[in-house]
C-alpha cells in the first residue's frame, strides 16, 4: 500500500549542527500519529520541513494524496497548504482583532481561489463565493461549538478557545493532513482534557490524518495510534503508545523522570 506521506532519509543541517538526522517515517490515511522527544530533539525542524517552511539538506518527502504523487522537497509553504497539508503553530497566530467568523473565512480563501478580476470588480460570482464561504464557515464553527461566538473578536476568547479556533482555521482549508504543533502548550488540565476530546472528534468527523507534536504525555497517550520518538535529531523508536511507554531507550532518553 502507498503511504499518504513518505519521508525518506531526511537530513537538515544548520551550519555545523544536524537538527534532523536521517529520519524516515510515514503517515497513512486516517491515522493519528504523535511526534515526541525531549527539548531540542528536532521535532519543530521536522515539522517545518514537512510543511514546506524550510527545505531539507537531503532526503525526500513525498505526498500521495487526492492529486496523485508529488514531491514536497522544494515546495513553498503556501503551495504545501494548497496540496492538502495544514498546520497550527506553537504560538497562536490568529487575526486577533478580527471576528471568529472572519478568521475562518480568511483561512478558506486559499481554497476558494478568487480571480483578480472577480475580486476587484466585485462580480456576482464574487458575492456568491463569499456567501458560500460564509455558510461553510458557520457550519464548521457549529461543529466546534463556536456558533455563539461568530462576532467575537479572536483576542477576546479564552485561551483554550483561541487554540480551538486555530484548529478550526487549519481545518477550513480541507486538509488531508493536519499538523498540530504543541496544541496543549500553556493549557490547564481542564483545557487539555477538552482538547483531547476535540482531537478525537476531529478524526471521527473528518477522517483526516493528524500528526501531533506534543509534550503532554497524557494527551499523546490518549489520542495517538502510533508514536515516533526523536532524540538528537534521529528516530529513537516508533510504535504503539503501549510499546513506546515501555521502551527502555525512550524511558532513558525522554520519559526518564516519569518512567
Ligand atoms: N533556524 C535554526 N538555525 C540554527 N539552529 C536551529 C534552527 N532551528 C533549530 N535549530 C536547532 O536545531 C535543534 C533542534 O531544534 P528543534 O526546535 O527542532 O527541537 P524541538 O524538538 O522542536 O525542541 P522543543 O521541544 O524545545 O520545541 C536545536 O539544537 C536547535 O537549536
> How many other C-beta atoms are found inside a 10 Å radius of the C-beta of residue 256?
10
The answer to whether the CB of 40 is under 6 A from ligand 1 is yes
Task: Provide the terminal-to-terminal Cα distance of the chain, rounded to the nearest Å.
Answer: 36
What's the CA gap between 68 and 171, in Å, rounded?
21
Report residue 202 CA to chain centroid gap.
12
Predicted local distance difference test score (pLDDT) of residue 193: 92
Cα(18) to ligand 1 centroid in Å equals: 10
Backbone angles phi, psi at 249, to 5 degrees: -65, -40
Cα–Cα distance list, 31 to 121, 182, 211, 225 (Å): 43, 18, 8, 7
User: What's the grid cell of residue 168?
Assistant: 478550526
Predicted local distance difference test score (pLDDT) of residue 131: 83
Predicted local distance difference test score (pLDDT) of residue 110: 64
Cα(50) to ligand 1 centroid in Å equals: 15
The answer to whether the CB of 39 is under 6 A from ligand 1 is yes
What's the CA gap between 194 and 75, in Å, rounded?
35
> How many other C-beta atoms are found inside a 10 Å radius of the C-beta of residue 64?
15
181 - beta bridge partners? 213
Q: How does pLDDT run across 85-135, given as a tens digit for each residue?
A: 888 877 778 899 999 999 999 888 766 555 555 555 565 565 567 788 899
Predicted local distance difference test score (pLDDT) of residue 73: 83
17 - beta bridge partners? 14
Predicted local distance difference test score (pLDDT) of residue 147: 95
- Whose cell is 478524526? That residue is 203
Cα–Cα distance list, 141 to 103, 137, 167, 259 (Å): 11, 6, 11, 39
Cα(46) to ligand 1 centroid in Å equals: 9
What's the CA gap between 66 and 110, in Å, rounded?
17
What's the CA gap between 227 and 244, in Å, rounded?
7
Give the helix/strand (H/E) hosting 162: helix 159-171
What's the CA gap between 71 and 83, in Å, rounded?
11
The answer to whether the CB of 20 is under 6 A from ligand 1 is no
Q: How does pLDDT run across 148-200, given as a tens digit for each residue?
A: 999 999 999 998 899 999 999 999 988 999 999 999 988 899 999 999 999 99
Predicted local distance difference test score (pLDDT) of residue 259: 40
- Whose cell is 466546534? That residue is 144
- Whose cell is 514537512? That residue is 50
* The ligand 1 atom nearest the CA atom of 90: 27
What's the CA gap between 222 and 209, in Å, rounded?
16
Predicted local distance difference test score (pLDDT) of residue 123: 59
What's the CA gap between 245 and 239, in Å, rounded?
10
Cα(61) to ligand 1 centroid in Å equals: 20
Length of the chain: 259
Amino acid at each position: 500500500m502507498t503511504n499518504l506521506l513518505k519521508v525518506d532519509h531526511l537530513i537538515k543541517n544548520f551550519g555545523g549542527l544536524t537538527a534532523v538526522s536521517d529520519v524516515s517515517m510515514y503517515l497513512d490515511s486516517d491515522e493519528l500519529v504523535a511526534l515526541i522527544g525531549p527539548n531540542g530533539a528536532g521535532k519543530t525542524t521536522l515539522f517545518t520541513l514537512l510543511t514546506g517552511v524550510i527545505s531539507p539538506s537531503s532526503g525526500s518527502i513525498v505526498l500521495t494524496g487526492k492529486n496523485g504523487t508529488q514531491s514536497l522537497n522544494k515546495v513553498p509553504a503556501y503551495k504545501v497548504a494548497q496540496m492538502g497539508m495544514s498546520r497550527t503553530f506553537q504560538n497562536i497566530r490568529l487575526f486577533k482583532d478580527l471576528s471568529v467568523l472572519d478568521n475562518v473565512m480568511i483561512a478558506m480563501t486559499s481554497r476558494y481561489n478568487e480571480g483578480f478580476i472577480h475580486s476587484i470588480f466585485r462580480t456576482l460570482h464574487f458575492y456568491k463565493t463569499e456567501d458560500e464561504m460564509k455558510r461553510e464557515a458557520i457550519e464548521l464553527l457549529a461543529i466546534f461549538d463556536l456558533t455563539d461566538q461568530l462576532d467575537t473578536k479572536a483576542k477576546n476568547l479564552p485561551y483554550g478557545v483561541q487554540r480551538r479556533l486555530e484548529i478550526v482555521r487549519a481545518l477550513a482549508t480541507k486538509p488531508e493532513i493536519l499538523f498540530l504543533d504543541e496544541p496543549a502548550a500553556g493549557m490547564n488540565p481542564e483545557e487539555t482534557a477538552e482538547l483531547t476530546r476535540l482531537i478525537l472528534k476531529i478524526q471521527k468527523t473528518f477522517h483526516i490524518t493528524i500528526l501531533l507534536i506534543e509534550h503532554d504525555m497524557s494527551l499523546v497517550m490518549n489520542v495517538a495510534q502510533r508514536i515516533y520518538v526523536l532524540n538528537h535529531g534521529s528516530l529513537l523508536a516508533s510504535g504503539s503508545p503501549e510499546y513506546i511507554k515501555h521502551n527502555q531507550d525512550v524511558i532513558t532518553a525522554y520519559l526518564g523522570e516519569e518512567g
